[in-house]
Chain A
C-alpha cells in the first residue's frame, strides 16, 4: 500500500515535556508501522480547547483554529488535517463548520488572519486519527500488522466525550460507539462488554478547577471498568487519559478505594501489538505502569 499523507495538528498537550507527549510517541510509532506520513502544520497554535471561552469570544477563538487551517492550506496543500487530541479535532472541525455556515464570520475571520499574513479557503477535511485508522485503513489492515497479540488482557474502552460528541465517528452511535472495542479485539485483547461508563464525562478541564466534583465522576468511570473485570483502560483522548490515570491516589484517599489501573491510548496498544518496544510505545510515560503491556513488549 502506498504511503498515506496527512497534515498533522499535534496540539499543545503533545509537545515535548507536556502531559500527553507519550501519546505522540506512540502515534508516531503506530504510523510508522502503518506507513502513514504525518506532516506537522508549521507554527501551529493552541485551539483554546473547550475552556478558552472566558477570555476569548467567538471570533478570537475561531481565528485560532482558522490560523491552523490556513497554515495547513499553505504548507500542506490538499491534505486532510488530522488531529490526535479530541479537543484539537473538535475545535478545528467546529471552526470549519461555523465558517462554512456564516459568511460574515468567515469575512471577519479572514480580516483577522490577514494581520498574520494569512488567508483561509476552508476546503480541507478535518479528521481525527481514529477516523483515518477506521476509514482509510480499516480493521483488517490494522490487524495485519499484529505480531504480538495482546492475549489475556481485558480492557475497558473508555471513549469519553469529545471524540464521540457532537461529531463522533461515522456509523457509530453516541450512546454506545463500538470502534474502540473493535480496536481492542483487533489487537488480540478482550474488550469489556457493556462498559457502562464508556461515554461518560471525566470532568474535562474542570478536573483542575472543580477537583472534587470531577473526581466523583472519575471514580465511577474506574469503578465500572473494575466491575467489568478490566486489567486496564484505553482511551483516544489526552484529557481522559490524564484525568483517569493521575487522580487515582486522591480518589483512594477520599473514598477508601484501592484503584491502581493503568490507562493508555489506543496507539499504545497498537504499538505494543505491532511488536515495538515499551519505549517506542510510550509505556515509560505511564504513571501507573501498564505491567501486562510491558511484559508483552519485553518478550
Chain B
C-alpha cells in the first residue's frame, strides 16, 4: 500500500464519500445521483462492467472504498458521453469515471492488469515525452504491453492492418526514429511538471 493511500485512509476514516468529493475530479457531484440507472443502461460497454456508474455511486456512499477504487469498471469507459447527456441530474459521469480511475492510480491501488489502464498510461507517457503522440511507437508499445511472446503474436495478427496504414501513408515506419514533436519541448515539459506538482500538493493536503 502506498504512503498516500495509507494517509488517505487515516484522514477520511469511514467517510469515503467525503474523500471522493475532496480528491476525485468532479467528485462533488456523486451525492446528486438519484439511482435511476439511465447511465448504466446507456453505456456501450456497460454489460462488461462489474459495477456500472449508478452502482459505483451508491458504493461510494456506502463506503465501499476498496471495491470501488480497485474495480476494473471505470477503466472500460469509452468516453462516449452518452451517460452525461442523458443523466436527469446532469452529473458529469464520464469525468467522474476518469477521475476515479486517476485517483486509484495516484494511490497505487488501480487494477494493474486491466488493458485500458495499461494503454491509457502508455498514451500519457507517449504524449508527455514529445508533446505530440507518436502513433507508431504507441502501437508497438501497446502490442508488447503484455510481454514479448504475446506482443509478437499481437503484432503478427495486426500486420495486415499495419501494412494497409503504411501503404496509404497513414502510418510512417520512420516515426520509430523520433517522429513528431513540439519545438519548445523544454517549456512543455516544465509546464506539465508544474501542473503535476500543483495538483499533488492539493491532494496531499
Contacts and interface: CB of A to CB of B under 8 A. Distances in A.
Interface of A: 12-13, 15-22, 43-46, 48-60, 62-64, 67, 108-109, 111-113, 115-118, 161-162, 165-166, 168, 174, 200-201, 203-206, 208-210, 213-214, 217, 246-247, 249-250, 284-287
Interface residues of B, number: 66
Nearest to A117: B187
Nearest to A109: B195
A201 B127 contact: no
Interface in B76-123: 76, 78-82, 84-86, 94, 98-99, 101-102, 105-106, 110, 115-121, 123
Contact of A17 (B84, B98, B170, B187): B170
Interface string B130-147: 011101000100100000
B99 A58 contact: yes
A54 B118 CA distance: 9
Given A63-B191, A204-B80, 17 more contacts: A15-B180, A17-B175, A18-B171, A44-B182, A50-B98, A57-B25, A58-B102, A112-B195, A161-B80, A166-B81, A200-B44, A201-B44, A206-B45, A206-B76, A209-B118, A246-B165, A249-B160
Contact of B125 (A55, A112, A117): A55
15 contacts: A12-B132, A18-B171, A44-B182, A45-B127, A45-B188, A48-B127, A51-B119, A52-B127, A57-B25, A59-B196, A63-B191, A109-B195, A116-B190, A204-B80, A250-B161
A53 B25 CA distance: 10
Q: Which of A48, A53, A63 has the most CB of B within 10 A?
A: A53
B127 A115 contact: no
Contacts of B80: 161-162, 165, 201, 204
B99 to A, nearest CB: 7
Contacts of A52: 120, 123-124, 127
B79 A51 contact: yes
B192 A46 contact: no
Nearest to B43: A201
B199 interface: yes
B135 A18 contact: yes
A18 B133 CA distance: 10
Given A15-B180, A53-B102, A63 B170 contact: no
Given A45-B182, A201-B78, A204-B80, A213 B119 contact: no
B174 interface: yes
Contact of B131 (A46, A60, A250, A284): A46
